[in-house]
Amino acid sequence: MIQSSAAVVAMGSLISSAMAASADIIPSSLALSHFAECVVKNAPDKVDRAMQSEVGGREERQILASLASSKGGCVTETNSLQFRFYQLRGALAERLILDDPSKSKALDSRISHPAVKAQATSTSPNWSGFFHCVVEAEPQKSLALFKSENASDDEWNIVLSMQPTLAACMPSNMTYRGNGDFLRRGMAVAAYALIKPPSEKATG
């Protein structure tokens, strides 16, 4: 059975629970990627609607919850796969980038921009700004991260190589503790938003 988060949860509040359950994240992160790959193939229209919806919005939650409950006609490697909506959207975004040569090329050919620290807010951590900052500064390494296997040495080495950028993009009121799955899912959502064609951005 697939379980998804049923409530709107601020991105910043997810990091502590993700870190606390790090032992479970390693196998489930790969299973989620396989699930996303299958869903992209079996339910492309619904996936497209999900990716055009507002991040964290009501429509996004409804579509992702529908995909989770129906499993999109896919069977996971495990009987129970738990994830939050941002993880599923990130896994879908990553798959869409890797499956579409034009999107992969668009990301790989982007010119790196100096890291500009995401503006901190007094109400909640600005994870969206952080992820966009990292992708803007490291587009080629972002693509390499998406191509790496979840919870692998390659994934970890890429994350380690981006430590200076992660530090440069991190607002003073936020802390990142090295969770590769949390990082790659958020970066995938940011990367997809950056490389969407203008026509898609107009409706996204």
Taken in order 168, 173, 179, 184, the sign of the CA dihedral is negative
- Residue 199, pLDDT score: 55
pLDDT band, very low/low/confident/very high, at 5 (cuts 50, 70, 90) = very low
Q: Tell me which of 23-27, 109-113, 160-164, 185-189 is least confident.
A: 23-27
CB neighbour class for 183 (10 Å; exposed up to 12, middle 13-18, buried from 19): buried
pLDDT, tens digit, 9 for 90 and up, residues 36-45: 999 999 999 9
Q: Which residues contact 186 (CB under 8 A, 6 or more apart)?
A: 11, 86, 90, 127, 128, 130, 131
CA 20 vs CA 13, 78, 177: distances in Å: 12, 21, 11
Structure tokens, 13: 């509040």
- Residue 15, pLDDT score: 31
Structure tokens, 19: 């870190």
Number of domains in the chain: 1
Residue range of the domain that includes 115: 2-203
Residue with structure tokens 């994934």?
155
Q: What is the pTM of this model?
A: 0.81
Output the average pLDDT for the chain: 80
pLDDT, tens digit, 9 for 90 and up, residues 64-95: 999 888 765 676 554 457 788 999 999 999 99
pLDDT band, very low/low/confident/very high, at 24 (cuts 50, 70, 90) = very low
